[in-house]
Every structure is written in structure tokens, then in C-alpha cells.
Amino acid sequence: MNVDHKVQTLDEFTIQQMRDFPHATGELSSLLRDIGLAAKRVNVEVNKAGLVDILGDAGTVNVQGEDVKKLDIYANNQFMGVLKHGISCGGIASEELDDFFPFDDPVSNNSKYVCLFDPLDGSGNIDTNVSIGTIFSVYRRVTPKGAPVQEIDFLQPGRDQVAAGYIVYGSSTMLVYATRRGVNGFTLDPSIGEFTMSHPTIRTPEFGRIYSVNHGNFFQYEEPVKRYITNCQKKDKTNGGPYTQRYIGSMVADVHRNLIKGGIFMYPGTLEKPKGKLRLLYECNPCAFILEVAGGKATDGKQRILDVQPTELHQRSPLFIGSKGMMEELEGCF
């Protein structure tokens, strides 16, 4: 009897991966399943955001002094909830929480992983029906099991990530996640309510023609960055310049498009904010891990993002990320 079927769901895929490792405990598969479930719940709310009273400021300000939208809080609670009730995660850190949060129950204290996330990236775009996303990052805890996780479990360099991924709530909803073994993309099939494999073994093109940056800040950038942006606009480029500028203002959507089509995304430091806007742990590290596994590069302008030793949970970092060839052109301007 032929029991092969063509389209694999996220759960089937993670279980298949586990079967390839006879000693695997299944904890990572279970964690990814939890994340997939929370993503489906958030997706439902994002899709009906225009219909119900869920839009608008929740009237609070997050730890970085930014307005919090209601959907941010909803997404944060969903991801926290599934991970707390799962069996794989000892605690979380989130862009929306002041401090890390140890789950501190007997199962969680014996779990292998901690998870960090930006529950709703690009949430400034919610009101205008533009793609937004969730970004997540998974590390093995470094403190011994049996006790609540500690801050040191979260302050690990990005190179030690076990898995990282994002969900884009866009014209379709996609979950992309990477382990050291590869990057795979799953599209939510609304007819069965499952993420199904749509982009197996993603490799980012070595060169692209898209550069993504907030041009409004041009005069605030340091000279090498200005030089690179100006080069992107020149016609005599050997790689078919001028390049095309695309900037959605939702990093997940910008990075996702560039991952698939080839390109470079930049959020440089500015005169006012030398470390830029993006958070090392919730935004830069997971995207850097995904891009590197897919064959791209990511730096803060000085060093590889994944080698930065974090010192605080909400630390910010400049970010340059994308196709290897374009990243090398950028590096040539420094």
C-alpha cells in the first residue's frame, strides 16, 4: 500500500526530523508545535483586526518607552501561554516583558530550552493592514535542570541558538524556521488549519538586487553606510545596478522577502541612536541565525551578529543582514 503523501505538515516534518535522531527526546519538536499553535491563534486575531475592537493603543508603554498595541499583548500572552503549558520550555524572555519569566513549575524546571521572542514585530503597521510578524529564538539552558531558569540562560550569544524562526502574517501566513540542519518554510493552509511545507531547504541567493533601509534617516547614518546606500543607487554597478529599494517597516516581512529573492536589510545606528532600534536578542539574533543557515551573512557593522555576547535582555544593535555578495559589498565600504 502506498502511504506516501506529498504535503508535509509542520508537525509531521518536526517528527520526521526527530526520527532521524534516535536519541532525540522530542522536546524541540514539541516546542515548535507549541509555537505553531500560538501562531495560528495570533493569525486568527490579526486577520480580524479590522473587525473587532482590538486595534489601537492598549494605553500602556512597553519597557523601551514605545506604545503597546492590544494585539502585541494578545500575541505575547498566546506565546507565553502555550510555552508555559508545554513540556519543553523553562521560561521566556519577550520584547513586551520587563524581565525574563521563569515558569517555575516541576515540569518546566526540568525542561531543556528557553525561548525568546518578539511577539508582534512591526506592530506600528497593524492599523494599516500591512504585514507583521512574530520572531522567536530557542536556546538550550545553561544552568542545571531542576531549578528555575536564570538570566544567564537568556544572555547567550546568537551562535548558540538551537533553532530560530519567524511567522509572517501577510497575504498568506508563513512560518519559517531554522535549525543548524537547514531553513524550511511552511504556509498556513486555512482549509485544514495546518502549516504545510511550501519552501523546503531555503537557500538565499548569493546576490540580490534589493536594498531595504529607512531612507528618511540617511543623513543620520555614518559615512560607510551612506557610501554603500549611494553605491546601491549607481547605474554603473557590475551586478546590474541601480538596485531596487524596498522597505516595508516590518522587519520580518522585509527580511523574509530578501531571504527568498536576495537582498540586504539594514537598520544602522543613527546620530541620535548609535545602536539603532532593533533588539539583539529578539530580532537581530534569530534573523541572523536563519540567514546564516540559508547562506547569507549578518553583522552589526563591526562584527558578526551571532558572536556578540549580550549583556542585557533588551540590548539594541545596528543590523546589516542579507545575501553574501551584497554584505561583502557593504563591508567593502567600512
Q: Do the beta carbons of residue 156 and residue 142 sit within 8 Å? A: yes
Alpha-carbon span 115 to 302, nearest angstrom: 27
Question: According to CB under 6 A, which one of 27, 34, 96, 118 is a site residue for ligand AHM?
Answer: 118
| Cis check: omega of the bond before 268, within 30 degrees of 0 | no
Tell the smallest beta-carbon distance from residue 89 to ligand AHM (Å). 22
Which region among 17-25, 36-44, 245-253, 292-300 touches ligand AHM (by CB under 6 A)?
A: 245-253
C-beta closer to Mg ion: residue 88 or 125: 125
Which region among 98-106, 176-184, 234-242, 244-252 touches ligand AHM (by CB under 6 A)?
A: 244-252
What is the total residue count of the chain? 334
Residues 6+ apart with CB under 8 A from 111: 27, 87, 88, 89, 90, 103, 141, 145
Question: According to CB under 6 A, which one of 26, 81, 124, 241 is a site residue for ligand AHM?
Answer: 124
Q: Which H helix or E strand runs over 77? A: helix 70-85
124 touches which of Mg ion, ligand AHM, none (CB within 5 to 8 A by kind)? Answer: ligand AHM
**Does the protein bind ligand AHM through residue 66 (CB under 6 A)?**
yes
**Does the protein bind Mg ion through residue 96 (CB under 5 A)?**
no
**Does the protein bind Mg ion through residue 329 (CB under 5 A)?**
no
C-beta closer to ligand AHM: residue 40 or 277: 277
C-beta closer to ligand AHM: residue 36 or 133: 133
Angle among Cα 55, 170, 68 to the nearest 5 degrees reads 30
**Does the protein bind ligand AHM through residue 122 (CB under 6 A)?**
yes
**What's the CA dihedral at 179, 181, 187, 190 to 10 degrees?**
-80
Tell the smallest beta-carbon distance from residue 35 to Mg ion (Å). 17
Q: Which H helix or E strand runs over 268? A: none
Strands 67-69 and 57-61: antiparallel
Contact residues toward Mg ion (CB under 5 A) are 118, 121
Contact residues toward ligand AHM (CB under 6 A) are 66, 118, 121-124, 214, 249-251, 267, 277
